[in-house]
A and B are shown apart, each in its own frame.
Chain A
């Protein structure tokens, strides 16, 4: 398996010692709904880290450059830009509000000095340009330094304006707005490897866009039944292949993944590959379908594998084998006996995301009680860590946590019934090249680093 093996990327999640690095966000116990983080994403270099929240805001952090005079701040992420990406809207035809919550952010590969990202709420995708301004022109002829217009008749001499340095200003401006293409709620966006197109997926349809064109999109998948009464399955996530610009996958609420090739037909209703693990009939219950629903699908960086997250597990699939995954990792199997309660309080519908490490040697996903889990694919070891303010001393090592499933609870273990199901880690991100991870815990963003780093 190809992977970015070199350059500061040692194997896996468990040879590493994860340490607290930073935490962003309010300390208040009282969490404002708008501050809840709804998406986290590193850019291609890892220098920028973007978060979106339920209030429609995007906050971008930038990694500080190495600085010999301040060695401890090396690698710290500080706020680079904050802007309001989406506002709440009202759909007058349906008399319904459209939430401003940012569902996904995806960066575009950097092509010049500016940075571009796509952010989306339930209905509208926006392309944002984030650019720096660190110079300004001084010495205009027609206006004063404070901007007041000068009387042209008073001007006796002409001068050439000069560029002078100024305090860095980071500006975000919306460059494209891709609207009115989705009847249902957008759950995914994915930039194509051609860097010209991207897809957006809602519950029943997937559209293909060109980044330059906002008034047209091509529908490439449509699973809406003629009769809505016959609806039994929805699209839950979609992603383009990292290298093959004609290939994408989409997952469903029935636990299946379809791989489609856009070369085969304009409407990719017929899949090229169909990934589904046969159900174990002995473990079937009324909740089997719900917990099999896939909440996230991600290609490995190599493009050879993909990972799916369902309610209780993460599965790694080899794209060449459709019949079953090559790896299955249990995230919180102790919840299996609590499914009825979790159904009752709706937690069973929580959509957890998952991510690969830069070298694809480890995978990470979130759980409840602010726990998150890491699986090392090489050593086959896994660890449970916690994002909490208590473990927030600078460079403090994170202690592995353990959930006690029954019998006598050991010291330092936490019993299943004591888990806080309101503290859920749905969104995590892994730096593309280094062992730095970003974990969103409600309204706080935690950044952890490997000690070696």
Chain B
């Protein structure tokens, strides 16, 4: 299910990737695993049965988990843009065997990172998903799809988007459901693609409740996230169209 052993472009920011790769060899850190749990949870919230009402209990429990992670990340101050390649590969390969997250707090105390000094990036709303800062810089200011604002607003936006999910769940109309699944030809569960940002951004652009998940601040273009301009154009095109 998860892409393994894919060749990837060597990242420009060698140091980050090295750190990431090194992390991939050893046990992924608590924050990476927490990140992948967050991503998994968001995907689960998006995956709704087309025809039958989603299970409200399950949705509430997943949403509460997402909130928990969000709160912890806010406390840690670890909301930052993670280099997509590193974020994409390491936790996914170990998604199934992430038992760090199952350990108790006491066990984890030694492993959790302190507030991240960061690399100067503005805290990202949904660090794993929207990791195409260059694309956002290209976006036109009047694009209604994106909230290009301060992190605090975005945190509110995150909360709001979570609530929108519930509104969507409650008032589901066939229109929105179809929108959700209009362009899905690959399984949602391709977390790989989601985390690398391109395909994920387009998919999560569907549906009112889900747009906000992909919305993010506009951190300064990161040299670690350089990609083909052609790909970015394509992505922006799709985003603007939806």
Contacts and interface: CB of A to CB of B under 8 A. Distances in A.
Interface of A: 94-99, 122, 184-185, 203-204, 227-229, 231-234, 236, 253, 281-287, 289-290, 293, 336-341, 343-344, 346, 349
A340 B96 CA distance: 7
B53 interface: yes
B188 interface: no
B104 to A, nearest CB: 5
Contact of A185 (B55, B160, B170): B55
Given A339-B102, A344-B96, A286 B57 contact: no
Interface of B: 34, 37, 40, 44, 51-53, 55-58, 60-61, 63-65, 68-69, 95-99, 101-106, 159-160, 162-163, 166-167, 170-174, 177
Contact of A253 (B53, B57, B69): B57
Contact of B106 (A94, A282, A293, A349): A282
Given A281-B105, A290-B61, 18 more contacts: A94-B172, A122-B53, A184-B56, A185-B55, A185-B56, A228-B166, A228-B170, A229-B167, A234-B56, A283-B105, A287-B65, A287-B101, A289-B64, A337-B99, A339-B101, A340-B101, A344-B40, A344-B96
Top 5 nearest A-B pairs by Cβ distance? Answer: A229-B163, A95-B174, A203-B56, A340-B98, A339-B102
27 contacts: A94-B53, A95-B174, A96-B51, A184-B56, A203-B56, A204-B56, A227-B163, A231-B60, A282-B106, A283-B105, A284-B105, A285-B104, A286-B34, A287-B101, A289-B64, A289-B68, A290-B61, A336-B102, A337-B102, A337-B103, A338-B99, A339-B101, A340-B37, A340-B98, A341-B97, A346-B44, A349-B61
Nearest to B67: A232
A285 B57 contact: no
A262 to B, nearest CB: 25
Contacts of A346: 44, 58
Nearest to B166: A228
B172 A286 contact: no
A191 B107 CA distance: 47
B166 A231 contact: yes
A286 B69 contact: yes
B55 A96 contact: no
A95 B173 contact: yes
B74 to A, nearest CB: 15
Q: Which of A96, A184, A203, A337: most chain B Cβ within 10 A?
A: A96
Given A95-B177, A97-B51, A286 B61 contact: no
A337 B52 CA distance: 32
Nearest to B43: A344
Q: Which of A229, A289, A336, A338: most chain B Cβ within 10 A?
A: A229
A285 B101 contact: yes
Contacts of B173: 94-95
Q: Which of B58, B61, B65, B97: most chain A Cβ within 10 A?
A: B61
Contacts of A97: 51-52
B167 A228 contact: yes
A172 B143 CA distance: 61
Contact of A286 (B65, B160, B170): B65
Given A96-B172, A229-B166, A286-B37, A253 B60 contact: yes
A185 B55 CA distance: 8
Q: Which of A94, A95, A228, A286: most chain B Cβ within 10 A?
A: A286
Contacts of A98: 52
Nearest to B165: A229
Contacts of B177: 95
Nearest to A203: B56
Given A231-B166, A285-B105, A344 B95 contact: yes
Nearest to A341: B96
